[in-house]
Structure 1
């Protein structure tokens, strides 16, 4: 949609469900930003998660979209938590160039007990465990996986630790989720979700400028004193000023937010990339999986002469007659 940004005149906004790559040459910063609306709504509505779980899934989807759209090859990025809390699994994956899916697993009784106690912060819902980032480039390439402990107060903090440990690139992550209550065209109450996020990275031409203080090794170990590059310090502080409402408010928009943050340093935005709620499951794929099972395993799944399989991501149920599937 066409709109106006002060100093830039008419501007074609990316709108919802489009990732906007950007560069701030004056700060040696590159990144991506996004606002998610209908795509996220479709994922969450399909599962009808309790509100605290929906927020966790929404944040994971935003993080996955921001990182997945940076892939320069055909493949998949999987972001997954695995932990001992009421929500023991949250997973989202991005398949190039634009497909997103996600789901969460939780213990209903434990989750309700946590909600009754008011323990709905991410670290309280997830408990102790790991956050894993897996890059899959296909059957003929080795998978890469980075793992960090779930020892932060938010996915923002945990993702920041991942970048410090695995990529060693100064990185700032911001994530926001908003629950909207309004009415549809017929005046009926309507519940909607929005989310937004930004990843900013410091990528100067001189690699030595990217050095950061060492992470503490624990047991009273002290970080080495190291002066943070002035430009990255400025960029980091700017990103930290983002209010959660700015990340999700459609009247602000991704480009307006970027202009507000970086216009004095000269921000450049690149063509947006659309992302879609699209599952990779299909009847053919599931039939192939069933065909790979032994006869004994198949017999255990047959009920009333048929086999039913429900995709955890998109909740689609596939039904096969037992005679359709034969072990290899």
Structure 2
């Protein structure tokens, strides 16, 4: 049986700490046999503080890491010198127990630990988008991708923030045992077996300052006229730019394409109408610029995973 050892560090975040046991512990073969054994240890065998109002006591010390096939390090808010480029001595001593050939996995900002240990040198990695710039500055030898949910470098894998640890652990199950096993785990955990997109969709992107060559005025105009047919040519014409220039500048300023931005704006407008009015789904679809209720349903299902009627029932009160 493949042994997963979770290293809980002081200041560990409980949600991330529970992910490996929840995902790997639910993976079973065709005959119902468990495919992973999940055990937890600390760097010195003592209980660790969490970032919540409780501590966690475990049954194992760092020597357990010598038996690990996969080592998972959940996020902690107390990584010490790992934030600045060096591995804290207690963590280094614990990782010395890991045998060659073991697989390393970090969840969220635990990527700092792997980077400080030199395991990410010259490799791609990710971390929580909020820390991406700092992480890159602290570890310039790492190729940081802040937009993805996880990065698989074979024997070293990193995930983006918080719930992306679920995506990464499901990916590992899928890689180890196939899509059918991973899908069963996802269904049992009531989570998607596969999430489209990356963490870029969750990044706060403040709009840049307006300028004469900005697309801001066109975005304002489009947001006020979502019910109209807004083609890329019409948007570019409003901004007095060529389609090519408008598309490039729009992406620079918003981090997305004009088409995707329009869809998001229209879905958001439809959500507001569903929450605050009694207008029919057909009327909401028209007001939001989708034209038909079928189109609105398709886009809401793609972005939110619910139908307009189900959304209204949930949020209209």
Q: What interval of TM-score do these two structures reach, taking the shorter chain for normalisation?
A: under 0.3
Q: TM-score, normalised by structure 1?
A: 0.20
| Higher strand content, 1 or 2 | 1
Bigger Cα Rg: 2
Q: Which has the higher contact order (CA 8 A, sep 6+)?
A: 1
| Higher helix content, 1 or 2 | 2
